[in-house]
Amino acid sequence: MNSVDSTSLDASNQALGEVIVSIKNVDFSYAPGERQILSGLNMDFRRGQVVAVMGGSGCGKTTILRLIGGQFTAQSGQVLFEGKDIGKMTSNQLMAARRRMGMLFQFGALFTDLSVFENVAFPLREHTDLSEELLRSLVLMKLNAVGLRGARDLMPSQISGGMARRVALARAIALDPPLIMYDEPFAGLDPISLGITARLIRDLNNALGATSLLVTHDVEETFEIADYVYFIAKGRIGAQGTPDELSRSTDPFVRQFLDAAPDGPVPFHYPGQSLAEDFGVSI
Ligand SMILES: Nc1ncnc2c1ncn2[C@@H]1O[C@H](COP(=O)(O)OP(=O)(O)OP(=O)(O)O)[C@@H](O)[C@H]1O
């Protein structure tokens, strides 16, 4: 189903940065005997790249972030972060690894009782012993990078949703993480804020020399900023390639996403009983 032939992929891979996260043959379900969410999943995330993970609702995109963050462990296979198996780390090693991962969760919730400044300062206060002066400079630099240095003293209730997302972004990069994970960074944003956030994700990634992993449904913005895109289907990779390669793809699965078709290889209905069984009628 892959839209890219493997020979050209191998050749282009050699010119790319080193792999920072590697998912190797991962099988995962949330509990024994429950539905298998991921099966035989393989993915690589390379330094310097913005990589998007897309796919139908409930296909396991957020689960992939949780495996990388070590909140859950795969039943088989490996999730390697900077070459080390996340699933085999001690809690101290895992904490150290997490300090090297910036996370922006769905709707990027801020601490409502802390100012914009203190929200961004929070991870620095938690994880470093920086002097107040140095901390102030770092926070203002991060706020400057997202265009909100002037908003430092405002409370979350005093800023717009788009601004709040940018503060959350500044907080996610406070510790200069080599890996930044975004879960639905564009959810609920108006088109202008959405465009600004997308551009910021790209620009911050370039400025930090980091790797950004983006779980999202917004094809247009994502294809503008991503270097590489994985489409997940049935617990594994349904298609992968650069935005250009995927845009030219004739694969029905890829087309369903790009053309926003309601039904296709990805079914509209979550698996369940038939209509006849639920409504007691023969259809
Ligand atoms: N903690 C959990 N325990 C049990 N099942 C879960 C848990 N979290 C998620 N699931 C199930 O795992 C599947 C994958 O969920 P996940 O959140 O990874 O999907 P997703 O692709 O991110 O979806 P969406 O795009 O709708 O956010 C879903 O069917 C969900 O119901």
Cβ–ligand 1 contact at 58 (below 6 Å): yes
Give 278's pLDDT tier (boundaries 50, 70, 90). confident
The reported pLDDT for the residue numbered 7 is: 46
Q: What DSSP assignment string belongs to 43-64?
A: EEEETT-EEEEEESTTSSHHHH
Q: Which residue's CA is the nearest one to ligand 1's atom 31?
A: 58
Cβ–ligand 1 contact at 57 (below 6 Å): yes
Closest ligand 1 atom number to CA of residue 55: 21
Which of the given ranges, 36-40, 105-109, 185-189, 249-253, has the highest pLDDT on average? 36-40
Q: Which residues pair with residue 43 across a beta bridge?
A: 23
Given a cut of 50, whether residue 3 has pLDDT beyond it is no
Which of the given ranges, 2-11, 117-126, 273-282, has the highest pLDDT on average? 117-126
pLDDT in tens, 218-256: 999 999 999 999 999 888 999 999 999 999 999 888 888
Structure tokens at 52: 């998007």
Q: 105 C-alpha vs ligand 1 centroid, how far in Å?
A: 14
Cβ–ligand 1 contact at 63 (below 6 Å): yes
Given a cut of 90, whether residue 1 has pLDDT beyond it is no
Here the ipTM equals: 0.96
Q: What is the mean pLDDT of residues 182-210?
A: 89
Alpha carbon separation from 108 to 33, 44, 112, 152, 185 (Å, rounded): 33, 25, 12, 17, 7
Cβ–ligand 1 contact at 279 (below 6 Å): no
Cβ–ligand 1 contact at 30 (below 6 Å): yes
The reported pLDDT for the residue numbered 17 is: 78
Q: 88 C-alpha vs ligand 1 centroid, how far in Å?
A: 23
Cβ–ligand 1 contact at 67 (below 6 Å): no
Show the domains of the chain with their CATH numbers.
Answer: 18-264 (3.40.50.300)
Q: What is the mean pLDDT of residues 39-68?
A: 94
Closest ligand 1 atom number to CA of residue 59: 21
d(CA 253, CA 35): 22
Given a cut of 80, whether residue 112 has pLDDT beyond it is yes
